[in-house]
């Protein structure tokens, strides 16, 4: 069995040490223009995104203070705005843009995983792409 995403990111701490937790936004419904076929380029469609932000949650677990963590409602709004103003051809590109935005929004994050699912893209199958970004390689 392969390593979990958390295990894969556990060495990404750099000078800050490894992450001690993650914040998840699951099942975000996003409206965006997405696809390579001409009929997909005419109007926004709904996609579903899941984000896992890996960071140190030890302090907010003790302080119970929003200032010590990531405001996930504000982050979700930022991700919705990115999707709304984008017009990518590939779900991989949208996932990458969302991942980079999450890292920009949360400077304390060590890494991020974003999965974008495009319902109905292939008859009889679910299609998704996951982008994993290490903050040290982005910043």
The structural domains of the chain, with segments of one domain joined by +, span 5-138
In this predicted structure, the answer to whether residue 1 has a pLDDT above a threshold of 90 is no
pTM across the whole model: 0.86
CA pair distance 19, 13, nearest whole angstrom: 6
Instruction: Clarify whether 118 is annotated catalytic.
Output: yes
Q: With bands split at pLDDT 50, 70 and 90, how would you rate the model's confidence at 4?
A: low
CA pair distance 135, 106, nearest whole angstrom: 10
Q: With bands split at pLDDT 50, 70 and 90, how would you rate the model's confidence at 38?
A: very high
Catalytic residue among 118, 131, 133, 135: 118
Instruction: Write out pLDDT tens, residues 77-130.
Output: 999 999 999 999 999 999 999 999 999 999 999 999 999 999 999 999 989 999
Residue 38: C-alpha distances to residues 32, 33, 41, 42, 47 (Å):
15, 11, 5, 7, 18
**Domain over 5-138 is classified CATH 3.30.1130.10:** yes
- In this prediction, what percent of the chain has a pLDDT beyond 90? 81
| Mean pLDDT, rounded, of the chain | 89
């Amino acid at each position: 069995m392969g390593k979990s995403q958390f295990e894969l990111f556990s060495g990404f701490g750099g000078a800050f040490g490894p992450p001690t937790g993650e914040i998840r936004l699951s099942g975000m419904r996003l409206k965006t223009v997405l696809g390579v076929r001409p009929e997909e380029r005419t109007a926004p469609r709904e996609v579903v995104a899941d984000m896992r932000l890996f960071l140190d949650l030890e302090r907010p677990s003790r302080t119970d203070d929003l200032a010590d963590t990531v405001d996930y409602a504000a982050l979700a709004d930022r991700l919705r705005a990115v999707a709304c103003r984008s017009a990518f051809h590939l779900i991989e590109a949208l996932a990458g843009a969302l991942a980079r935005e999450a890292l920009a929004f949360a400077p304390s994050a060590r890494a991020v995983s974003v999965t974008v699912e495009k319902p109905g893209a292939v008859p009889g199958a679910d299609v998704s792409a996951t982008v994993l970004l290490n903050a040290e390689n982005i910043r």
